[in-house]
Amino acid sequence: MNLLDLLPAEMEDLAATLGGPRYRGRQLATWVYQKGVMSLDAMTDLPKDFRKALAEVGDVQVPQVERVTPSQDGSQKLVIRMADGARVQSVLMPDEDRLTLCLSTQVGCGFGCAFCCTGTMGLDRNLSAGEIAGQFLAARPLVPAGGRITHVVYMGMGEPLANYAATVQSIRILTDPQAIGLSPRRVTVSTVGLVSGIERLAREDLRVRLAISLHATTDEVRDRLMPVNKGFDLQALLDACRRFPLPMRQRMTFEYVLLDGVNDTPEDARRLVRLLHGIRAKVNLIPFNAWDGAAFERPPLQRILAFQARLLEHGITATVRWSKGEDVGAACGQLAEPATATRS
């Protein structure tokens, strides 16, 4: 058992199962999640016999940061190795008073979005909850003294809602006050548009933010860019978004990668306005980030700004998101780890 898969309350249950008082589980959670101590032997306020019993059923398997590649903009791309040798990538992104960690939920991705480098890997396997939340624990020592990771986005490798149970459990670990203790408002889950997953997430009491990878304004174009659209078309997706419970004063984010000559026309902008009617929405326009072998190009700046202006004219909050870490292959759509130990 990887103890990182457990919530503090589940660590209490485990302590009771092992014959100890429940508060031993809370002590374990404090050592692991708040103090960052991963060796059971170093948890000195736990009795030796309890530590021995713990070691017989599990340990703390924290992913290891194998490589750090710094970007000129201050971002850091992390190659993180799991216990079985599988590798994923995470990104630390500073921005004024916030430090955001971009997490991966799968080794590779099986959804094959045409503009995304991760999709060229295919899907190797899902990550466990402990491997997802463990990326936070692995990245935390890289934060300068006095700083902290303030936000988490599930926008790395993989589709979070295709690994639903582990994703939800990892969110609970990240937001549990007795574990990592992030505010749910500072956690964003991105999805390619798995309607069934969005509907399940709507029934969870997580209160996290939701980001929809839209990227097209017609089913014809979206079918070509995102094969998932053949199962959940635009109407089904946007209907699910309209049903999703949003807290007061919160907007749903729609991600829209701008591809030269594909989805960046004035007609696309007008259709996007119509599609988002009735949704408290904000749009992140992401100029395409190039990668080797990609069949797309970034539109010229004038066309990017014109697209944004048309949305703003119709009252839609729209920002141009210049991705962090583009120079080191850490920007949106660039993450890929071509070989994993589980395949070699």
Per-residue pLDDT of the chain (344 residues; tens, 9 = 90+): 999 999 999 999 999 999 999 999 999 999 999 999 999 999 999 999 999 999 999 999 999 999 999 999 999 999 999 999 999 999 999 998 999 999 999 999 999 999 998 888 899 999 999 999 999 999 999 999 889 999 999 999 999 999 999 999 999 999 999 999 999 999 999 999 999 999 999 999 899 999 999 999 999 999 999 999 999 999 999 999 999 999 888 899 999 999 999 999 999 999 999 999 999 999 999 999 888 888 899 999 999 999 999 999 999 999 998 876 666 665 576 577 754 433 32
Q: What is the predicted pLDDT for the residue at 16?
A: 97
Question: Rounded CA gap, 19 and 25, in Å?
Answer: 11
Q: What is the predicted pLDDT for the residue at 339?
A: 46
Domains in the chain, please, with CATH? 3-57 (1.10.150.530), 64-328 (3.20.20.70)
Question: Rounded CA gap, 214 and 212, in Å?
Answer: 6
Q: What is the predicted pLDDT for the residue at 7?
A: 98
Cα–Cα distances in angstroms (integers) from residue 170 to residues 36, 101, 269, in the given order: 17, 14, 36
Cα–Cα distances in angstroms (integers) from residue 282 to residues 52, 203, 210, in the given order: 52, 22, 11
Question: Rounded CA gap, 257 and 255, in Å?
Answer: 7
Q: What is the predicted pLDDT for the residue at 343?
A: 33
Q: What is the predicted pLDDT for the residue at 210?
A: 96
The pair of three-digit structure tokens given for residue 9, joined into one six-digit string = 């309350």
Q: What is the predicted pLDDT for the residue at 322?
A: 80
Q: What is the predicted pLDDT for the residue at 327?
A: 67
Q: What is the predicted pLDDT for the residue at 247?
A: 84
Beta-strand (E) ranges in 127-183? 151-154
